[in-house]
Each structure stands twice: as structure tokens, then as C-alpha cells.
Amino acid sequence: MGGTVALLLAAGSGDRLRRRAKAFVELGGVPMFLRSYRAMAVCGRIDRVVVVVPPDYVELAARWTETGAPIPVAVCRGGSSRQESVELGLRAVADGPDRIVCHDAARPFATPGLYVRVIDALARAQGAVPIISSPDTVKRVRDGLVMETVPRHEVGLVQTPQAFLAEALRDSHRRAAETGFSGTDDAMLLEAAGYEIAAVEGEPSNFKITTPDDLRRGELFLAERGGERAVGAPTGGRREAHR
């Protein structure tokens, strides 16, 4: 089949946010996961989206995305960890796509252009991630003691969306399952499997919403942009969303 499929990872519990199902928390009246989906839909590089959600939220996510979807979308249940959720998302995707994009719904402000950059970077590597340069000096610490200073130009803060050649991502997850390896993002699994990862310029506004302070920051960010709703936000009355 070819093309590009995006896995929108929306199965996080939201414990630190003190809310159920973090990705369903609203920003400007729109659930975070829906903001990400709409950016994916208009970037011009993604053909289909699979939204990975908590088991109890499959029906709700389907209701939010079923009407007027600009590109095909499916919903599947996630797992107890991010890595397991990606594995379940991969099972829900046919073997056909050439490229797979993984994005955390807790980063609702990734622009369509960022999706384009990571996908286009697959022309030179098997994976691609957005990087933000560290503004601070970085120290390596062990047992409360500073061991060394890491050159700042050699480190960066990693974001999603992350893009991968489909077979490289599947192979990396297979190897991780066989060895019991656990990574905090999918690029880490590809690194462990020996694949090359390209770095592209990230976006300072693509911050992750994890705590109540982050949520307030997100609302302030929207207010500074004029309080606009996400492109394609539902119309004709507000639908119920779990808090």
C-alpha cells in the first residue's frame, strides 16, 4: 500500500495532571488528542491515523473523530506503558505503509510543518526526531555528585512527532520484546538496534503537558494566540469529554 501512517499515542493515565485520560483533557474547548490529529490531517504527508487510547475510551475517541474526518482514522486500545501502546498500534496497522510517525498526544501544539520535517528527514536515515538545543550547561550526575560536564552542543531535548521507516520500527520493537529492553521513546529502540536517527529542528511551543502547571501554560499559550480553537474542532454543540 505504501504511504505514511501516524500513531497518535493518547493512552496516558494523566496521574500527574490529576485527571483521567490526559489526552482527553480539553485545551480551549478541544481535547488534546484532537488538536494533534487535526495537525496531522493538514500536514499533507500523512495518509491515515491510528489513535491509541485507554481501553475505556475507544468509543469516545471514535465519536470525536468519526464526523468529517479529513483523512482516514481508526481507534485502538493502548497498553500499560508507552512502548506497549506503540506495539498495539503497530498491530492495528496493516503491513503496507512505508513510514510510521509516532506522536504523543500530550504535545498538542506540534505544527503541521514539524510533521513534514521529520517525515522528509527519512530520506537520509531510518528514523528522525525533533531536537531542541539545551539552553543550560549539562552535567552528568551520579549518587548526588557531578561526574562531568557534557558539551552543550552535543546534547538536545527530544520531542515528538518522531518518524521511522516502518520495517525499522517494527524490527526494533521485535528486538526489544525479545531482549526485554525498555525505552522512553521509539528512537531509543532504533538506536539500540543499530539504526541511524536524523535530528531536525524542534519547536519550543511543542511542549509536553504533564502537570497542572503545564496545562495552565497551554491555556496561556492559546490565549496569546487569540484563543483560537483547533482547526476542524467539532461544531454544532460541545460533545462530552471525560475529565
Domain spans of the chain, in order of start: 4-224
Rounded CA separation 160/226 (Å): 25
pLDDT at 234: 38
Burial class of residue 129 in the structure, from the number of CB atoms within 10 Å of its CB (0-12 exposed, 13-18 middle, 19+ buried): buried
pLDDT at 17: 67
Rounded CA separation 133/155 (Å): 7
66, HSE (Cβ side, Cα atoms, 13 Å): 8
CA 230 vs. chain centroid, Å, equals: 17
b/e per residue 4-36 (b: at least 16 CB within 10 A)? bbbbbbbbbebeebebebbbbbebbebbbbbbb
Per CATH, the number for 4-224 is: 3.90.550.10
For residue 55, give the nearest of 105, 102, 104, 13 by alpha carbon: 13
Contact 18, 213 (CB under 8 A): no
- Residues (pLDDT < 50) of the chain are 229-243
Length of the chain: 243
